[in-house]
Amino acid sequence: MADRLRDKVALITGVGSVGPGWGNGKAMAVLFAREGALVFGIDIDATAAAETGRLIAAEGGTFQAFTADVSKDDAVAGAVAACLQAHGRIDILVNNVGIAVVGGPKELDEATWDRVMGVNLKSAYLTCRHVLPVMEGAGSGAIVNNASIAALGWCGVNYGLYAATKGAMVSMTRSIAVQFAPRGIRANCVLPGLMNTPLVHKALTTVYGQEGDIEKLIEVRNSQCPMGHMGDAWDTAYAALYLASDEARYVTGTELVIDGGMSVRFV
């Protein structure tokens, strides 16, 4: 076990995985624990969070799971209170919850708009709303929000609504960074590109081929990347680790792009 986050309390949302393999939050939780963090992991799926916890415990790390829908204010308030009761502080907040939906205003109805906004954006607003006063009282803290290169441009399919949530997350993060910089709090975003994760497998196979044809999805998405292959959850996790650590002590209000060069084509 290393010590880049030794004894830091890290509250991470979306620590489970929707299927076999490594999702971003699962990899973040395991990596942060390996680096010495005391991880408080939130997920709506208790079973998925427990699996992450078992992996961390097997490596001798510290993890506490909390089941909550982070698009609900009372649930977030309860989670933050539980984290404070367990550890007394929150040094790091990672907002990793998100759902991928293809379509924009023409294709998607109001209910879908509300759902995606609630999960992808409102969840980050709520955690920041409850955690920022805690960090402000401590005079320090690091927030890492998981956005997407969809906030920057066209990613090969119509991510109109999804992109709107991620673009708003970037703007909110920049505002938080400026407002709270004098109080010792940093806020940054990671912007993953095309990633090979269980969430992608579950949500997007019909976009790239027949439903359930994961091999076709991987083939097409790999071909869209300048490096010839997608990234994975560990690429996102290591970027988040840097931004959460004291190595990034003078980094705030920025976006760290993890996309194998894909977004260069947007310019």
C-alpha to C-alpha distance for 65 and 82, rounded to whole angstroms = 10
Record the tokens describing residue 249, joined without a space: 């002590």
162 is a catalytic site residue? yes
Is the alpha carbon torsion for 177, 10, 5, 184 positive or negative?
A: positive
The Cα-based distances of 180 to 2, 22, 253 in angstroms read 29, 33, 10
Q: What is the dihedral of CA 25, 64, 252, 262, to 10 degrees?
A: -10
Given the residues 159, 162, 208, 250, the one annotated as active site: 162
Order the strands of the 255-258 sheet from edge to edge.
Answer: 62-67, 38-43, 9-13, 92-95, 141-146, 185-192, 255-258
CB 7 within 8 A of CB 92: no
- φ, ψ of residue 210 to 5 degrees: the values are -75, 150
Residues tagged active-site: 162
